[in-house]
């Protein structure tokens, strides 16, 4: 009377047949007991497993940034400077952009890809300005003024044009791209391009030269997403005559190359650090003049 093993019925499905080979049989319902503590442990275990899985997956997919420093051996490559500055109180007729570098190269009133746009007192564009030196023989006019001592018609018309622009409250937007050599140097926007006679006839006194400006953009090299330009959006306003002078911005530009894992090509950019300075124009008062006269009389 030993125990007899029943063979599976012929009508049993494939899934049921495979289940017979399970080494860990599921206990029958009357042998198990469900509790709240057991459910909490099971749920906590599932949440912990999901958290560990997501954390490990994120760590695996994260990009590791490696920074190395080396010597830049690139030669004969020009640096493109993107400039967009508005001078709110100086007309385009008086402004010039000059570039000077450590190799001795000096470019005066740089043109090419740089443009000047006349703007009104509200910053709205009026027209594109072309240098008056391109329309007449500036060298002949300058020699005539120096040696013969009289004013040419072209110079007089230029002075009248500046006075009209100043009275209308015109400003100037200097924008475009400037290419320079990758050496130490500087570029500056000023009224140095005009001769002393023109400046005296138009501004009468150096303190009347208002260098208020707004930097819309000042970047180096190509643009790419999330690139920050520290000077973009910077504004400097001169409200009083004794505040006029020179505004200097010192920038340290370092070439940087970004190389990605999936991208075979390298992205070249430039990182910048800057500081700014301002120097007020030295204007002698009447008291200082009297003191100097007394010292000379002694």
Instruction: Record the tokens describing residue 96, joined without a space.
Output: 């010039």
| C-alpha torsion angle, residues 174, 224, 180, 186 (rounded to 10) | 60
Nearest C-alpha neighbor of 165 from the set 90, 239, 241, 86: 90
- As a whole number of angstroms, the distance between CA 83 and CA 218 comes to 5
Q: Would you write out the chain's pLDDT as a tens digit for each of its 298 residues? A: 445 555 555 556 777 777 777 777 677 776 677 788 888 898 999 999 999 999 999 988 887 777 777 777 776 778 888 889 999 888 888 888 888 888 888 887 776 788 889 998 888 888 888 764 544 444 444 444 544 444 566 677 878 888 888 888 889 999 988 888 888 888 888 886 666 777 777 887 777 788 888 999 888 887 766 667 777 788 888 777 666 777 888 888 888 777 776 665 666 767 666 676 665 554 444 444 555 565 555 5
Show me where the domains of the chain are located.
78-244
φ and ψ of 113, to 5 deg: -90, 5
φ and ψ of 174, to 5 deg: -100, 120
**Which residues are bridge partners to 96 per DSSP?**
190
The helix/strand count (H/E) of the chain reads as 6, 11
3-state secondary structure of 268: strand
SS3 breakdown of the chain: % helix, strand, coil, rounded to 5?
30, 30, 40
């Amino acid at each position: 009377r030993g125990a007899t093993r029943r063979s599976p019925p012929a009508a049993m499905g494939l899934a049921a047949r495979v289940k017979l080979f399970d080494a860990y049989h599921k206990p029958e319902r009357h042998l198990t007991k469900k509790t709240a503590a057991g459910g909490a442990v099971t749920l906590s275990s599932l949440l912990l497993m999901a958290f560990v899985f997501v954390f490990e997956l994120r760590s695996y997919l994260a990009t590791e940034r490696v920074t190395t420093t080396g010597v830049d051996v690139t030669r004969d490559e020009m640096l493109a400077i993107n400039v967009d500055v508005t001078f709110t109180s100086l007309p385009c007729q008086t402004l010039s952009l000059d570039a000077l570098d450590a190799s001795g190269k000096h470019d005066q009133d740089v043109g090419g890809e740089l443009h000047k746009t006349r703007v009104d007192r509200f910053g709205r564009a009026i027209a594109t300005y072309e240098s008056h030196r391109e329309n007449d023989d500036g060298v002949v006019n300058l020699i005539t003024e120096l040696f013969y001592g009289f004013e040419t018609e072209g110079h007089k018309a230029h002075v009248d044009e500046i006075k009209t622009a100043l009275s209308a409250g015109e400003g100037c937007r200097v924008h475009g791209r400037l290419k320079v050599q990758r050496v130490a140097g500087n570029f500056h926007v000023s009224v140095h391009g005009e001769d002393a006679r023109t400046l005296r006839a138009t501004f009468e006194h150096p303190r009347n030269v208002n260098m208020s400006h707004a930097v819309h953009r000042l970047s180096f090299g190509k643009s790419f997403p999330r690139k920050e330009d520290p000077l973009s959006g910077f504004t400097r306003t001169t409200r009083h005559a004794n505040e006029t002078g020179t505004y200097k911005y010192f920038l340290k530009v370092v070439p940087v190359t970004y190389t990605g894992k999936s991208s075979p090509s390298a992205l070249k950019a430039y990182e910048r650090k800057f500081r700014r300075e301002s120097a007020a124009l030295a204007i002698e008062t009447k008291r200082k003049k009297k003191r100097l006269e007394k010292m000379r009389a002694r």
